[in-house]
Amino acid sequence: MTLSNEPRTRRRRLGVAAAAVGLIAALFTAAPAGATPDPGDSPAAPKKVSKSDAADTRKAIEDGRIPAPDEVVHSDNIEHLTNIPKDALPGTNSDLAFQGKYAFAGNYDGFRIFDISNPKKPKTVAQVLCPGSQNDVSVSGNLLFLSTDSSRSDSSCASTSQPATEKSSWEGMKVFDISDVRNPRYVAAVETACGSHTHTLVPERRNVYVYVSSYAPNAAFPDCQPPHDGISVIKVPRKAPHKAAVVGFPVLFPGSGPDGGGNPGGPTNPGVSKTTGCHDITVLPSRDIAAGACMGDGILFSIKDPEHPKVIDQVQDNVNFAFWHSATFNQRADKVVFTDELGGGGAATCNAEVGPNRGADGIYEIKGHGEKSKLVFKSYFKIPRHQADTENCVAHNGSLIPVKGKDLMVQAWYQGGVSVWDFTNSAKPKEIAYFERGPLSTDELVGGGAWSAYYYNGHIYSNDMEKGFDVLKLHDKRTDPAKRVHLRELNVQTQPEYFGWHD
């Protein structure tokens, strides 16, 4: 293990600030049941590191090159307003969505709703127990959508773990009515092939289309058979969500082989994931386009007909990308940032040995128009702060910071913390702010850290897998114009058009 030799300039604060939790409306539909980890983003079980790596970690802490366990550090231009620890839901925290004054936080045991009208003192208004990883969450109007990507005994919130080899097992999408945010009501369940690892909304006036990303088929799984070379499309009528149903399974990777036309992975491409579906999709409805991060492939596709998306371009990086994880358009929609989740989110990859180009972001420019558009690689970005070999760290979920004429992004890096970076110059991206905690352990690799970090109405909100819900504030002239942008709703994988656009 090699850590940076230079102490980092940062503000230090010992401990983790805890805010008043406020009113808790916990909706227990059954006794707590442990969610079954899925094969994708769940942190790996703790494992010992070598004595020399453990000693190097302790020495790096003594020298000020990394923060100590439970120590909070950040750049001068970012402020940590508060942290809300986990409460009734003990599972791993996952993704975030926003609507009005509320933040919706996924957890492998269900989801939690915060009132963020005062970002310095978020209040819990509901905690819903409904086990099933990852429980990625999104909202549209009065509906909340929850992904289940672990095999369960049934579709209820009282389900228990059950092997995927059993035909009766269930995994897929759940739909809740949140017209009363203090009392979410479970209204629909839709089973999908291979479950729902993540999902993306394509909202319309009367219906909400849901693109369901899932992967890892197996001939022994009755409901997850190979080839699994596409996505499930669910149509949810807003006025009758109980009628939600799968309306198609568009094939994104057609091919003549048994596994379709995606990346074959190893041994053809050693160290690269075989494409058996998509991990995450980001849509830009105002321009009828989407970008898919699909294991071994990155794709650009048209969603003019939301039930029948059409692939425009397909790219691979068989040198530095191991697992295409997520995608983000810039505001002009002439760039896409793809992330590589090297090690599945459970490995220590932010160090000198792995280097700056693996487990990083890949910046691609979009050349051409319409169905002739092509993705052209420009550069990689990775946080410049080396982490210990006891810290899982890799590029993960983030969002744009809306500043006109600039390409700015905030992003989670697990135990690498939260990074704010500028990719206006596609060839020379740079970090401009950061926030992180010290390692969870100095002698074991323990999974944790920021799962998602998103900018919403003047603040950054981050869901730390173990430590809870963090609220950050930027104080920087480069990002200050974003404070004037206010949204009524934000699902990051359904990107808004912040300023309008012109061809």
For 135-172, the pLDDT digits (tens) are 999 999 999 999 999 999 999 999 999 999 999 999 99
Q: Is the dihedral of CA 433, 438, 442, 444 positive or negative?
A: negative
- What is the pLDDT at residue 18? 31
28 vs 309, more confident: 309
Q: Is the dihedral of CA 296, 434, 486, 422 positive or negative?
A: negative
The distance in angstroms from the start CA to the end CA of the chain is 48
Pairing mode, if any, of strands 310-315 and 324-329?
A: unpaired
DSSP E strands: which ranges in 330-403? 335-340, 361-367, 374-381, 397-401
Above 70 in pLDDT, residue 240?
A: yes
- What is the pLDDT at residue 64? 87
* pLDDT, the chain, mean: 90
- What is the pLDDT at residue 47? 83
Pairing mode, if any, of strands 185-191 and 172-177?
A: antiparallel
Percent of the chain past pLDDT 90, that is, above it, reads 84
Above 70 in pLDDT, residue 497?
A: yes
Mean pLDDT, range 96-119, rounded to an integer: 98
pLDDT-based confidence at residue 259 (cuts at 50, 70, 90): low
Residue 9 has what DSSP assignment?
P
Provide the residue type at 79 as one letter: E
Percent of the chain past pLDDT 70, that is, above it, reads 89
- What is the pLDDT at residue 483? 97
Above 90 in pLDDT, residue 256?
A: no
**Residues 180, 39: Cα–Cα separation, whole Å:** 34
Mean pLDDT, range 309-319, rounded to an integer: 97
- What is the pLDDT at residue 163? 94
111 vs 48, more confident: 111
Mean pLDDT, range 56-64, rounded to an integer: 88
- Considering only CA atoms, which of 201, 214, 42 is closest in space to residue 134? 42
CB 161 within 8 A of CB 187: no
Mean pLDDT, range 256-260, rounded to an integer: 65
- What is the pLDDT at residue 107? 97
- What is the pLDDT at residue 13? 41
- What is the pLDDT at residue 36? 33
Above 90 in pLDDT, residue 478?
A: yes
- What is the pLDDT at residue 30? 31
pLDDT-based confidence at residue 4 (cuts at 50, 70, 90): very low
pLDDT-based confidence at residue 38 (cuts at 50, 70, 90): very low
Least confident of 64-68, 321-325, 399-403, 497-501: 497-501
- What is the pLDDT at residue 1? 38
- What is the pLDDT at residue 258? 65
Per-residue pLDDT tens over the stretch 359-377: 999 999 999 998 899 999 9
Above 60 in pLDDT, residue 8?
A: no
What letters, b where the CB count within 10 A reaches 16 and e where it falls short, cover 154-193? ebebebebbebeeeebbbbbbbbbbeebeebebbbbbbbb
pLDDT-based confidence at residue 257 (cuts at 50, 70, 90): low
Provide φ and ψ at 375, rounded to 5°.
-90, 125
Q: How many CB atoms lie within 10 A of CB 430?
A: 11
CB 408 within 8 A of CB 336: no
Above 80 in pLDDT, residue 337?
A: yes
359 vs 65, more confident: 359
